[in-house]
Amino acid sequence: MPLAEYPWEHVSLPAHTDERGSLTMAQSGPVGLVPFEIKRTYWLHDIKDGGKRGAHATFNGLQLVIPLAGGFAVTLSDGVSWRTFNLRAGLSMKNGQTDGLLIKPGAWRELDHFLPGTVVLILADTLYEDVDYCRDWSEYLARVGKGE
């Protein structure tokens, strides 16, 4: 799969900011900007120093990764190309929104370089199914047709 068709998209969640602070919403549909029905949510927290997560691919469903606190790097691959995104919690200087990353089916993902206190929220449109996970790089390459 060429990089131009890479299985990711940025999703910007707008904040409602007033003198009390900010409120950011995520809901399914065009208003809440989550482009799928949310069936599951999980979060990463209490991440150990130098911790790494992911190193796997799932093939069913979409997942939206949202930095709630701190920051971290998400590296995605399609078996050929690699791309790293640095996600940071808080409102972006650029657009005053929280930037999330939509991961499409079939992407290999790795999360690392967590800042202290990082909390990552993940929204998914499928229930957890261990059989959907590929945790072995060679198997992944074979599955996406990039093996030897």
CA-based torsion, 121, 125, 129, 130: positive or negative: negative
82 in contact with ligand TYD (CB under 6 A)? no
Residue of the chain from 42, 80, 83, 95 that contacts ligand TYD (CB under 6 A): 42
| Residue 105 touching ligand TYD (CB under 6 A) | no
Q: How far is the CB of 112 from ligand TYD (least distance, A)?
A: 11
Q: What is the distance between the alpha carbons of residues 47 and 42, in angstroms, rounded to a whole number?
A: 14
Q: Residue 75 has which token pair?
A: 């590296």
3-state secondary structure of 18: strand
Positions in 45-64 near ligand TYD (CB under 6 A): 53-54
Binding residue (CB under 6 A) for ligand TYD from 15, 34, 44, 144: 44
Nearer to ligand TYD, 63 or 98 (CB): 63
43 touching ligand TYD, by CB under 6 A: no
Question: Could you tell me how many residues of this chain bind ligand TYD (CB under 6 A)?
Answer: 6
Which residue shows structure tokens 């060429």? 2
Residue 52: CB atoms within 10 A of its CB come to 14
Smallest distance, ligand TYD to C-beta of residue 63, A:
9
The alpha helices in the chain, defined as continuous H runs, are 137-143
Stretch of 2-10, 38-46, 86-94, 95-103 lying at the interface with ligand TYD (CB under 6 A): 38-46
Please name the residue that has the structure tokens 């093996």: 147
Sign of CA dihedral 112, 116, 122, 127: positive
Q: Which residues are at the interface with ligand TYD (CB under 6 A)? A: 40, 42, 44, 53-54, 128
